[in-house]
Amino acid sequence: MAQDDHLIELYLAGKRIASGLRIARPFALTTAHALGPDVLTTKPLLHLRDGTPAQILWGNTPSDLALLRLELNGTTGPLATTTYGEAQQGQAWRATVSVDPKPLTGSVVEPDAVYHDGPHLTVKALRLRCERVLRDPAAYAGSPIEETRQDPPVVLGLLVKPRDTPPRESDEAFAISVAEALRLFDDVTGGRKAEKRTRANQVLHDRGYGSVRPRWTRTDPNRRTRRPSEGN
Amino acid sequence: MHITPAEAAIIGTSLGATATLSAAWITQRATSRRERERRLWDRRVATYDDLMSTLHTYAQLRAHTRRSFDLPELEGVRSEALHSAATLAARIELYSSEPLREACERSFDGVQRWLLAWEEWHEQGPAVRLPSQADGLWKKFTRRVEEAERADSELLELLLADVHGTRRGARRFPKGRNRGISLRKTTSGSSASRRTAPGKNAPRKPDHD
Quick check: B153 pLDDT over 70? yes
Expressed as residue numbers, the domain containing A114 is 83-182
- The mean pLDDT of chain B is 78
> In the prediction, which pLDDT does B64 show?
84
Task: With respect to residue A210, please indicate whether it lies within any of the assigned structural domains.
Answer: no
Residues A64 and A99 in one domain: no
- The residue in chain A having the minimum alpha-carbon distance to the alpha carbon of residue B139 is A120
Summarize pLDDT for B115-136 with one digit per residue, the tens.
999 999 999 988 899 988 899 9
| Nearest CA distance, A192 vs chain B (angstrom) | 12
Chain A CB within 8 Å of residue B30 CB: no
| Nearest CA distance, A43 vs chain B (angstrom) | 10
- The residue in chain A having the minimum alpha-carbon distance to the alpha carbon of residue B140 is A120
Q: In degrees rounded to 5, what are phi and psi of residue B20?
A: -60, -45
CA A63 – CA B77 distance, rounded (Å) = 32
**C-beta neighbour count of A100 within 10 angstroms:** 12
Contacts of A32 in chain B (CB under 8 A): 127
> In the prediction, which pLDDT does B66 show?
85
Model confidence band, residue B145 (pLDDT cutoffs 50, 70, 90) = very high
Q: In degrees rounded to 5, what are phi and psi of residue A122?
A: -120, 130
Say whether B69 and A187 touch across the interface (CB within 8 A).
yes
> In the prediction, which pLDDT does B53 show?
83
Residue at a domain's end among A139, A159, A182: A182
Within 13 Å and on the Cβ side, how many CA atoms surround A10?
Answer: 28
Model confidence band, residue A196 (pLDDT cutoffs 50, 70, 90) = low
Residues A43 and A109 in one domain: no
Higher-scoring residue by pLDDT: B199, A65: A65
Residues A103 and A59 in one domain: no
Return the percentage of chain A with pLDDT > 90, whole number.
38
> In the prediction, which pLDDT does B95 show?
83
**Cα dihedral B101, B102, B107, B111 sign:** positive
- Please state the domain extents for chain B: 41-179
> In the prediction, which pLDDT does B116 show?
92
Residue A170's Cβ-count burial label (10 Å; 0-12, 13-18, 19+) is middle
Lowest mean pLDDT among A144-158, A200-214, B73-87: A200-214
Residues A65 and A106 in one domain: no
Query: Which CATH number is A170's domain given?
Result: 2.40.10.10
**Cα dihedral A194, A196, A202, A208 sign:** negative
Higher-scoring residue by pLDDT: A16, A99: A16
CA B50 – CA A205 distance, rounded (Å) = 57
- The residue in chain B having the minimum alpha-carbon distance to the alpha carbon of residue A31 is B127
Residues A22 and A48 in one domain: yes
Average pLDDT over residues A67-92: 75
Contacts of A119 in chain B (CB under 8 A): 136
Query: What angle (nearest 5°) sits at the alpha carbon of residue B30, between those of residues B26 and B35?
Result: 150
Residues A121 and A154 in one domain: yes
Average pLDDT over residues A65-82: 71
Task: With respect to residue A93, please indicate whether it lies within any of the assigned structural domains.
Answer: yes
Average pLDDT over residues B196-204: 41
H-run or E-run covering A206 = helix A191-206
Dihedral, CA of residue B83, residue B89, residue B91 and residue B93, to nearest 10:
-160
Quick check: B185 pLDDT over 90? no
Contacts of B67 in chain A (CB under 8 A): none
Query: What angle (nearest 5°) sits at the alpha carbon of residue B50, between those of residues B45 and B54?
Result: 145
Residues A97 and A43 in one domain: no
Average pLDDT over residues A223-228: 46
Q: In degrees rounded to 5, what are phi and psi of residue B126?
A: -65, -20
CA A27 – CA A22 distance, rounded (Å) = 6
Chain A CB within 8 Å of residue B68 CB: no
Residues A88 and A34 in one domain: no
Candidates B66, B123, B124, B132, partner chain A, best to mutate (most A CBs within 10 A): B132
> In the prediction, which pLDDT does A95 show?
92
Within 13 Å and on the Cβ side, how many CA atoms surround B108?
Answer: 23
- Residue A215 vs residues A78, A188, A197: alpha-carbon distances, Å: 12, 19, 8
> In the prediction, which pLDDT does B27 show?
93
> In the prediction, which pLDDT does B20 show?
93
- Residue A225 vs residues A85, A200, A205, B12, B126: alpha-carbon distances, Å: 11, 17, 11, 115, 40
| Nearest CA distance, A151 vs chain B (angstrom) | 33
Quick check: A203 pLDDT over 50? no
The answer as to CATH 1.20.120 being correct for domain B41-179 is yes
Which pairing describes strands A154-160 and A83-85: parallel, antiparallel, or unpaired? parallel
Higher-scoring residue by pLDDT: B205, B150: B150
> In the prediction, which pLDDT does A26 show?
79
Write the secondary structure of B127-174 as one string of H (helix), E (strand) and C (coil): CCCCCCCCCHHHHHHHHHHHHHHHHHHHHHHHHHHHHHCCCCCCCCCC
Summarize pLDDT for A97-137 with one digit per residue, the tens.
888 788 899 999 999 999 999 999 999 999 999 998 888 88
> In the prediction, which pLDDT does B73 show?
67
Summarize pLDDT for B105-119 with one digit per residue, the tens.
899 899 889 999 999
Say whether B128 and A183 touch across the interface (CB within 8 A).
no
What single-letter amino acid sits at B166? T
> In the prediction, which pLDDT does B168 show?
52
Average pLDDT over residues B19-28: 93
CA B185 – CA B197 distance, rounded (Å) = 16
> In the prediction, which pLDDT does B193 show?
36
Candidates A33, A42, A121, A192, partner chain B, best to mutate (most B CBs within 10 A): A121
> In the prediction, which pLDDT does A193 show?
54
Average pLDDT over residues B10-16: 92
- The residue in chain A having the minimum alpha-carbon distance to the alpha carbon of residue B128 is A60
- The mean pLDDT of chain A is 78
> In the prediction, which pLDDT does B160 show?
86
Quick check: A230 pLDDT over 70? no
Report how many domains make up chain A. 2
CA B10 – CA B18 distance, rounded (Å) = 12
Are B174 and B25 in contact by the 8 Å Cβ rule? The answer is no
CA B187 – CA B43 distance, rounded (Å) = 12
Residues A54 and A101 in one domain: no
Average pLDDT over residues B147-172: 79
Say whether B137 and A120 touch across the interface (CB within 8 A).
yes
Are A83 and A155 in contact by the 8 Å Cβ rule? The answer is yes
- The residue in chain B having the minimum alpha-carbon distance to the alpha carbon of residue A41 is B126
Residues A165 and A107 in one domain: yes
Pick from B69, B128, B132: CB nearest A186: B132
Higher-scoring residue by pLDDT: B44, B187: B44
Is the model's pTM score more than 0.95? no
Say whether B127 and A61 touch across the interface (CB within 8 A).
yes
Quick check: B15 pLDDT over 50? yes
Residues A176 and A96 in one domain: yes
Contacts of A187 in chain B (CB under 8 A): 69, 131-133, 138
- Is the bond leading into A166 cis (omega within 30 degrees of zero)? yes
Pick from A59, A119, A188: CB nearest B131: A188
Residue at a domain's end among A70, A103, A119: A70
Pick from A59, A119, A183: CB nearest B127: A59
Say whether B127 and A37 touch across the interface (CB within 8 A).
yes
Residues A150 and A102 in one domain: yes
| Nearest CA distance, A103 vs chain B (angstrom) | 31
> In the prediction, which pLDDT does B190 show?
38
Say whether A60 and B128 touch across the interface (CB within 8 A).
yes
CA B37 – CA B34 distance, rounded (Å) = 5
Which residue from A216, A221, A83, A89 is spatially nearest to A149, judged by alpha carbons? A221
Query: What angle (nearest 5°) sits at the alpha carbon of residue A5, between those of residues A154 and A39?
Result: 105
> In the prediction, which pLDDT does A197 show?
53
